[in-house]
Each structure stands twice: as C-alpha cells, then as structure tokens.
C-alpha cells in the first residue's frame, strides 16, 4: 500500500492512545505523510494544550480558526497542512450564531451555562466537538482530517457519546446530531481510529483494552496500530569495543571499553524487550503495526517531524508485503 492510498482509505483518522505515548506527534507525522503524498490534510486538536505548532516550526498555539502549519510545494508536489482546535464552547457558539441566536450564544458562554448544560446532558460537549468534525468532513474542508483525540480513557467516552445521547434523546436536534455522528463513526470509509502505543507493557495493555472497548461499544473501524518509540537497528553492537578501536586505529582504556560494553548490552536489552511487547501486541490484537522510530533528541521540531513522516511512509509501504 502506498501512503496516498492509505491516507484516502478514510476521510477522518482519529488518533488515540494512552497519555504520553506520542499521539500528538503521530498525528502530526500522519498529516505530514499525507501532505508528502500530495494531499491537503487538516489536523484537529480537541484538548487545547498540544505542541502541534512547535512540531511544524511555528510559534503560538492553535485556535478555533484554521491556520496553515506547513505550506504546499515543499518539496514539490506536497500539499499544505492546516490545523485548528475545536472546543465545545466555540462549537456551540458557532452553531447558535449560524441559527440566528448570537445573543443567546454570548450569554451562555459568558455565564458558564454550558457547564450546567453539560452536567444535565452527559456527552453533549463531546457531541458538539464531533458534530463540528462531521461538518468539516461533509464540507470536504480537507482531503483528510486527522483528529488528535483525548487520551485513551476519555477517548472511549468521547467516541461513545453519540450512542449515549441516542438512548437519552428520543427526538429533536440533539438526537439528529447524535445519529449523524454515530453514522459517521460507523462508516469505515468516513472514519477510522488509529491507536498509538509504546512498545512497553503498560501502554500495550491499555491499547488492547481500548481497542476492544471501541469495537464493542462504539463500532468504529480500527486502522493499523502505530508503535511509537521503536529503537532503530544499530550496526556494530556485537563487536567488542577494543577490537573496533584497534581496527580504527584508536586507543581505548579499560574503563572506556567497559562503559561501551555496558551501553551495547543496555541497547540489546531494550530492543529485546520492545520486540517481546510488539509480539505480545500482535498476539492480543490482530491488526497491522506501523513502527515509528525513537529519536534520540531532547526536542521535536520540523526536522524531526520530517524524519518521522518518512518513517511512517516506509512503514505504510511495507504493509503491502505482509
């Protein structure tokens, strides 16, 4: 499968995973991969505190208005990447404005009444956000929409909100909105969930639980699992440091050689543990895996995002050979 075919297999990709596994970074890499395939993706952030702009080398934070994160044509043929945040308050404000109730909308948000409504009608905040995503999808705002979803626990209730409101509301605009969102989530050609994990025991356990909960309680299609932070192959680890130094004409004292042996042993151990966890994940969850490499850096910016996007492209391409 090539990256363009992958990115057009669904109009919305909802990226979810346990907090700390790098789902925002994966969302950005997925968007950049789509752009490199000539598509124009839109990243939608729903929690309002991610570092998406920094990943694209931009200052500031995303707002409700759509902005360009990466221009088209770099490299030649690449599409532009757009980004925005969708919050329940802003979505409700826009909805009421569009329906001629601007004065009411201002009063609701100014007085905090939306929180009262949210308490009285559980799931309404999530439906406001998903309803706006549905609108963007219907309007063909972008070739593909990538939703940087809440962390795994909230992601389930976030996506389950439509079914809960269908049970609670028998008629009216809330039920109509909930039904349309449920239809969106239950159509694989319109939406899929991409789950992200680290190759570690606890994130893998939580991902498996989340996957089955989403299938059982939401009915949304699951795409390949992204395994983030995979240690890339490193040649020469099996060579003794003293032998390697002698071949290169470099002198090493015993303490330096021992430190290098310890580092090589640690790397071997980490790779082995990661392989055990990815194998366990494959046994527990029969979904393809896309490996994204661990980057040995203390910051992630545009150059690092490019590396991750190309690695994700290679991983997608390898799916055809499995």
The pLDDT tens digits for 31-79 are 999 999 999 999 999 977 668 999 999 988 899 999 999 999 988 899 9
Q: How far is CA 239 from CA 68, 257, 268, in A?
A: 48, 11, 13
pLDDT class for 190, splitting at 50, 70, 90?
very high
Query: Please, which residues bridge with residue 15 across strands?
Result: 148, 194
pTM score over 0.85: yes
pLDDT in tens, 56-69: 999 888 999 999 99
**Residues sharing a CB contact under 8 Å with residue 10, sequence separation 6 or more, in sequence order:** 144, 188, 189, 190, 191, 192, 221, 223
129 alpha carbon, distance to own chain's centre: 16
| Of 206, 301, 277, 283, residue with least CA distance to 291 | 277
Q: Quick one: DSSP state of residue 38?
A: T
- Residue 125's pLDDT is 81
CA distance 310 to 302: 12
Q: Structure tokens of 227?
A: 């395994």
* Mean predicted confidence (pLDDT) in 128-135: 91
Query: Please, which residues bridge with residue 139 across strands?
Result: none
Tell me the three state secondary structure of residue 122.
coil
């Amino acid at each position: 499968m090539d990256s363009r075919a992958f990115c057009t297999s669904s109009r919305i990709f909802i990226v979810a995973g346990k907090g700390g596994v790098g789902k925002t970074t994966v969302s950005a890499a997925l968007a950049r991969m789509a752009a490199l395939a000539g598509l124009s993706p839109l990243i939608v952030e729903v929690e309002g505190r991610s570092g998406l702009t920094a990943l694209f080398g931009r200052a500031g934070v995303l707002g409700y208005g759509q902005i360009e994160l990466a221009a088209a044509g770099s490299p030649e043929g690449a599409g532009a990447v757009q980004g925005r945040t969708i919050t329940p308050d802003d979505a409700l404000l826009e909805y009421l404005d569009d329906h001629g109730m601007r004065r009411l909308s201002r009063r609701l948000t100014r007085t905090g009444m939306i929180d009262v409504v949210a308490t009285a009608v559980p799931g309404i905040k999530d439906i406001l956000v998903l309803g706006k995503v549905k609108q963007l999808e219907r309007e063909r705002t972008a070739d593909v929409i990538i939703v940087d979803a809440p962390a795994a626990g909230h992601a389930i209730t976030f996506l389950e909100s439509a079914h809960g409101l269908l049970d609670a509301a028998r008629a009216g605009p809330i039920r109509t909105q909930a039904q349309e969102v449920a239809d969106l989530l239950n159509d694989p050609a319109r939406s899929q969930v991409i789950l992200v994990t680290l190759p570690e025991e606890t994130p893998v356990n939580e991902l498996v639980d989340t996957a089955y909960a989403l299938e059982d309680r939401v009915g949304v299609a699951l795409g390949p699992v992204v395994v983030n932070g995979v240690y890339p192959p490193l040649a020469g680890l099996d060579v003794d440091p003293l032998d390697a130094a002698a071949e290169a004409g470099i002198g090493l004292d015993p303490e330096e050689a021992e430190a290098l042996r310890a580092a090589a042993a640690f790397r071997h151990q980490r790779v082995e543990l990661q392989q055990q966890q990815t194998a366990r994940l494959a046994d527990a969850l029969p979904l393809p895996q896309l490996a994204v490499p661990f980057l040995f850096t203390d910051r992630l910016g545009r150059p690092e995002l490019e590396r991750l996007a190309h690695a994700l492209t290679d991983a997608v391409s390898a799916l055809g050979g499995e």
